[in-house]
Amino acid sequence: MSTTPVRPAVRDDLALMEGYHSPQVQVEVRLNTNESPVGPPAEFRAELAEAIAGIDWHRYPDRGAGELRAAIADHHGVRADQVFAANGSNEVLQSLCLAYGGPGRTAVVFEPTYALHSHIARVTGTTVVEGERTEDFALDPDEAERVVAAASPAIVFLCSPNNPTGVVEPEETVRRMLDQLAPTGALLVVDEAYGQFAAWSALELVDDDTNLVVTRTYSKTWAMAAARLGYLVGPAWLVEALESVVLPYHLDAVTQLAGTLALRHAAAMETRVAELVEERGRVSAALDELPVTVWPSGANFILFRPDHLDGAEVWSRLVEHSVLVRNCASWPRLDGCLRLTIGTRDEDDRFLTALTEILT
């Protein structure tokens, strides 16, 4: 006599949790996921192709990613034992939550901000406390101190430039947060996925005596979203702790090669970043001439809200023009907002022409 098997139950705290999604729509101009509009240099591609031929495919990759970490450390002027690399900055964030979050511990975020900070925290069983930003999406240091004091967190997440608003946290705000957290043993995580587009970086505040880590990614400025490679720079004792929670051999040999070789082309990356920053200024100025509200950005994207039309309607009509941007309505307090990734000049002109036709 057979019986119908009972399916295993998902954890109660995950059963109603939605995953992180970014719509993938077939369009001619895709400006919704903050990718680089152009790929890495041809020289990098050739070097990587040649290097791949030398991989010992029957052997596990370097578990500690020693060559990659040393190259990243040299790029930032730190030690290799201050660098932790993983499959995208999201695995870096997950490792931080596994090591320093978890049941009975709390993480603080300030909304609206990068959705995966709170999502990853919750997946790891970490309680999330949400603080608010000001009307212009800046972080009010007094309000931030109040939220942190009330929550007694193990981890505080700051995203700078903030995704999806583009706001850059001032150095004074980060230093003030570090001063508040110093006697508590809490960790400050500054997510700088878009850090190279901003005027300053919290990397200059990292040392072995400060409970601070800065996360970075190869996906944006290095034009390597397909590689899924991210890293953090932080105290050596923290990197050692992360090695105890990350899966063994989690970074494959090709990813390690790609990340190491890319750093030889830093000048090309810096040129690409400078061009995108210039293009960001041009697009922002053009948006200022349209009936939309635009927020200043220190990243490779711009947040805006149509003044007289619903954002979802504008998003749909842009898709009809074969232009895809990000509908930010799912973020707290961003009803009607859209986020535009800076693309090539031609792509941005396609967007501006379509948006002008829709709004005027």
Residue with tokens 């349209």: 290
Kindly give the pairing relationship between strand 212-217 and strand 230-233. Answer: antiparallel
CB 162 within 8 A of CB 194: no
Partners of residue 85 on adjacent β-strands: 231
CB 255 within 8 A of CB 229: yes
31-45 in b/e form (b: 16+ CB < 10 A) is: bbbbbbbeebbeebe
Q: Higher model confidence: residue 331 or residue 76?
A: 76
Q: Which amino acid is at 223?
A: A
pLDDT digit string (tens) for 293-331?
A: 999 999 999 999 999 999 999 999 999 999 999 999 989
Side-chain-side CA neighbours of residue 85 (13 Å): 29
8-29 in b/e form (b: 16+ CB < 10 A) is: eeeeeeeeeeeeeeeeeeebeb
Mean pLDDT (whole number) for 256-266: 98
Structure tokens at 334: 């961003």
Distance CA 312, CA 193 (A): 27
Side-chain-side CA neighbours of residue 142 (13 Å): 1
Q: Which amino acid is at 22?
A: S
Residue 1 has pLDDT above 80, yes or no: no
Domains of the chain (ranges, CATH numbers): 29-41+267-359 (3.90.1150.10), 51-264 (3.40.640.10)
Distance CA 350, CA 357 (A): 11
pLDDT digit string (tens) for 33-60?
A: 999 999 999 999 999 999 999 999 999 9
Distance CA 220, CA 262 (A): 13
